[in-house]
Chain A
Amino acid sequence: MTTILPRKDAVIVGLGWTGAILAHELTEAGLDVVAIERGPWRDTATDFNIGYAQDELRYGIRRDLFLQPVVEAMTMRNNTSQTALPMRDYGSFLPGNGVGGAGVHWNGHTWRFWDSDFQIADHLRDRYGAARIQDLQLQNWGVTGAEMEKSFDRLEYLAGISGKAGNINGLIQEGGNPFEDPRSRDYPLPPLQMTYAPTLFAQVTKSLNLHPFPTPAANLSKDYINPLGIAMGQCTMCGFCERFGCANYSKSSAQTTILPVLMKKKNFEVRTESEVLHVDLDASKKHARGVTYVNTSGEEFFQPADIVLLCAYGLHNVRLMMLSGIGQIYDPNTGEGTVGRNYCYQTNAGAQVFFDDKNFNPFVAAGALGQTVDDFNGDAFDHGPLDFVGGAGINCIPSNGRPIQTRPTPPGTPRWGSDWKKATVKSYKSTLGFSSQGSSYPTRGNYLDLDPTYTDRFGRPLLRFTFDFPDNDIRMSNWVSDRMEEIAKAFGGKQYTNTRRKKGWDSVPYQSTHNTGGAIMGTDPKTSAVNKYLQSWDVANVFVIGASAFAHNAGKNPTGTVGALAFHAADAIRQQYLRNPGQPLVSA
């Protein structure tokens, strides 16, 4: 039996970064809002208690804060000729769970995508010709970099990002990223104090005529009070960011930037440990009535609402749309359907340099404390003579020196035994690592849909991945790895390694939790699931907010752009949609 609850103005599925931003914005507009969150309530002092927050076994290895496959698993295959099998454990990527979502346990790299990303199809076609991108399903996002600037700025000031501007209103700033789009003002906080490894990386890359700059970080370089009046503390560089909640109010998250204000509002409520099963549509299938969810006792509820905001992790947003019949599921054979289209990932590779005479003290660290080189990212360089598009940021961000997982050893070291032990002791402090985070461009055959065989505990089909690294991206990554090898050599260390990305995505080893696309934004309802305001083309009172909207993935961490899109959508809802509820903001 389903209990029908009193109507709300808006229901939000998932209370992470985007859910919290939307909830704050819509409650400010006077709406009565409820957020429904599958995982538990999480708060700094009670859940990231300083007395156990840095428990690597519990959080780093056993992954206490993450979604567990018993709650929701997914199936994967590399191409349509294979039969997908369920991932029995999450490995390659680690979706979040609970209030704050993945924003609780991220590292804090906070990037802006560029105008050449948002208008990628036009940009690359104009510069290199249509033939260059014919194997890729690249699409414009429907927005421009200039249009998004204000939203990026709001996110960065909400979150107290530490960084150095590279381009303020068109003026290049010494020490910042010269390749970034113009921004209206500098970051709210100066860069974090650099540790030795990124300092050396900056010296070496500069000597190669590259342009290193401090990675924009959501680990705070100073005490900060954000525009909502919420105070955050200076990062202590304990090196427990990714996979951990921050015990010091020093890492930006919904908990540290929004919830203290949001939770006090009379027109806001969150229901935790409640899983949304589907969005309920009316008979026309053009209007959402609300959502149906189930609590941990198995009781089912219908929450009627005028607006439904899907703010779960991008992959969950896509699956919920499919389970609810919002839009048509993408079919790679015909190219028709939009939900599941343009799933992208991240194309990464890494290098390590081993020294005899250096001490990097890797345990002094923060998730985003480091230096980045963007000379080979996106379209910052001329691809004319090359055989690929896209690029990668090269990052030296030694985010931690945690004892279980930080065990670098030089090539030739045995994998176990006393020689291995000796080598880990010797190399722990004297190894410098850096990595490339490469773009991931869509192809016709990389997509998400519902698995025909495997179901979850409620009998609903699991999400199925069909994905492999596109040839273009492999060529890109290997070309960037050549550049990394030049950098590695220039360090003058004793030895170096330089791993190269190969085809054959493997879901087991951790790679990146930057799963994008599947409910992409765009200008054409035939090729995108949501319009430029993240409003469903098919069901006008549903907005789908998250990295699911990315039409491709750049060589950057997605959270900055995810947060900016949340503000962008919130503005559209407040300023346009609420004046004319139920209507499309863009006519198809």
Chain B
Amino acid sequence: MSRIVFSLTLAATAFSAGLALAQAPDQADEIIRGRYQAILGDCSACHTAPGAKPLSGGLPLETPFGQIIPPNITPDKATGIGNWTEADFRSALKKGIGHGGKRLYPAMPYPAYTRMTDRDIGNLWSYLRTVDPVFNPVESNQLPFPFNIRLSMMGWNMLNFTPGEFQPDPSKSAEWNRGAYIVQGPGHCGTCHSPKTALGADETSEALQGGSLQGWYAPNITGNSYIGIGSWSEDQIVRYLKTGTNGHTIASGPMAEAIQASTSLMTDEDVHAIATYLKSTEGGSTQKPQPIPASDARMKVGAAIYHDTCSACHGGDGKGASQLFPALAGSSIVQQPSAETLTRLVLQGSQAVHTPAAKTTPAMPSLGWKLSDEQVAAVLTYVRNSWGNAAPSVGASDIGAQR
């Protein structure tokens, strides 16, 4: 809820500030457009802590290299970016170099934001100037040596970073290009959904093919129909991004937050454009393996647990119930190479996101207290290899590692 409230507050702030400035209608438009850029870029996801003032600094991000705390980006002069110039801001987004030449860490997704147009960045800057300044000192850099040396990012950038604005593909439709721009640029989808190199950069050759972060597995979102979203219609992708549920699945974890604060607030045209683009992408194995046979001992144990504990909601046939219980049969999310998300759902449970079109917020209960590592592994192996699903088995040690 807090996110929606913030967004509404932001809208109100934008309007009142715009009117208060009353310098020119153009400027008000710019601020409103900039607010929309903040939605596309989902700034609040990282820069607003739950319950805190908008953009006044976020919760720590756990990276493989250590903790980074998203800074205060309100116009507060002492602790925010009140002393920044538009050129500083532009440089931060385009080059990863902020005010005073300070190098940013790529937890701030400047490798994606660099694709943004000058106009969009300008609008976003205008909007950020209107946010209420908040005094909140944040020491972003919590990394251990040697990662805490910001200058090291110079080398990182040389190896991993290609600055430059998005270049449209003239052979594709305007809608496709718009979708590609949002996905690669402000939407920074790959920041979660692309696998990472040893240096923490996006594995660009495997863009959008799924990545692990913060105890979740962000699934493959290419047009691959086995483990991607190729089996979803464009309308189903749109419904998912607008509402968090589409009959196939229900968003959970960080994506639930992204839907609430960002995609559900995007225009219908933009969400359609994203769907068009994602459907056209390729990546990952399309070759479904042979499912583990039902006669396998793990499958038998898994079937018994499934029927006892899971079938009341997800159905004996794994088809679920739309809006309430996600279908497991045919679900690409169930069949991802990594069972990290599934494991987390079973161990800890998860609650669906609340959007204006899907208000129920049904929840998966935690079952970690009840099922042993072996039992969780067996039931996940079962759902990954039943009703036409096929995916590698899950081992008890994988479960233990996530407890």
Contacts and interface: CB of A to CB of B under 8 A. Distances in A.
A249 B361 CA distance: 11
B313 interface: yes
Nearest to A51: B370
B309 A233 contact: no
A450 to B, nearest CB: 42
B364 interface: yes
Contacts of B351: 45
Interface stretch (A105-113, A222-230, A322-330): A222-230
B364 A45 contact: yes
Contact of B359 (A223, A229, A266): A229
Contacts of B130: none
B313 A51 contact: no
Contact of A233 (B313, B358, B365): B313
Contact of B365 (A50, A225, A231, A238): A50
A50 B313 contact: yes
Contact of A50 (B4, B312, B357): B312
A236 B312 contact: yes
Given A45-B349, A50-B313, A230 B359 contact: yes
Given A50-B313, A233-B313, A233-B321, A266 B363 contact: no
Query: Chain A: interface residue count, which band?
Result: 20 to 34
Contacts of B357: 229
The winner among A45, A46, A223 for most chain B CB atoms within 10 A is: A45
Contacts of A62: none
B362 interface: yes
B354 A260 contact: yes
A43 interface: yes
Given A50-B313, A248-B313, A260 B359 contact: yes
Interface in A373-392: none
A51 B309 contact: yes
B360 A231 contact: yes
A457 interface: no
B360 A260 contact: yes
Nearest to A47: B365
B366 interface: yes
Interface stretch (B61-69, B114-122, B132-140, B322-330): B322-330
B4 to A, nearest CB: 8
A513 B366 CA distance: 32
Contacts of B154: none
A508 B59 CA distance: 54
B354 A264 contact: yes
B149 interface: no
B174 interface: no
A232 B365 contact: no
Contacts of B362: 44-45, 231, 249
B78 interface: no
A246 to B, nearest CB: 10
Given A247-B365, A249-B362, A264-B359, A231 B313 contact: no
Nearest to B362: A249
A223 B354 CA distance: 19
A565 to B, nearest CB: 26
Nearest to B360: A231
Contacts, number: 74
B369 interface: yes
B366 to A, nearest CB: 7
Contacts of A405: none
B312 A248 contact: yes
A49 interface: yes
Nearest to A229: B359
A46 B369 CA distance: 12
B323 A43 contact: no
Interface residues of B, number: 27
B5 interface: yes
A160 to B, nearest CB: 12
B17 interface: no
A261 interface: yes
A261 to B, nearest CB: 5
Nearest to B311: A236
Contact of A266 (B5, B312, B366): B5
Contacts of B364: 45
Contact of B324 (A46, A231, A238): A231
B46 interface: no
Contacts of A51: 309, 365, 367, 369-370
A478 interface: no
Nearest to A44: B363
Given A238-B312, A260-B354, A43 B321 contact: no
Interface in B332-364: 349, 351, 354, 357-364
Contacts of B324: 223, 231-233, 249
A268 B123 CA distance: 35
Contacts of B349: 45-46
B294 interface: no
A436 to B, nearest CB: 33
Interface string A226-270: 001111111010100000000111000000000011011010000
A261 B4 CA distance: 13
A319 to B, nearest CB: 35
Contacts of A223: 321-324
Interface string B301-318: 000000001001100000
A261 B5 CA distance: 14
Contacts of A50: 309, 312-313, 365, 367
A263 B313 CA distance: 24
B151 interface: no
Contacts of A229: 357-360
Interface in B185-223: none
B1 interface: yes
Interface string A51-69: 1100000000000000000
A230 B360 contact: yes
A261 B322 CA distance: 19
Contacts of A232: 324
Interface in B1-28: 1, 4-5
A241 to B, nearest CB: 14
A248 B310 CA distance: 11
A397 to B, nearest CB: 21
A227 to B, nearest CB: 11
Nearest to B4: A264
Given A44-B363, A260-B359, 12 more contacts: A44-B362, A44-B365, A45-B362, A50-B312, A50-B367, A51-B365, A223-B324, A229-B357, A231-B323, A233-B325, A247-B365, A260-B354
Interface of A: 43-46, 49-52, 223, 225, 228-234, 236, 238, 247-249, 260-261, 263-264, 266
9 contacts: A45-B351, A45-B364, A50-B365, A50-B367, A223-B323, A230-B359, A230-B360, A260-B354, A264-B4
5 closest cross-chain pairs (CB), A and B: A45-B363, A231-B323, A49-B365, A45-B365, A231-B360
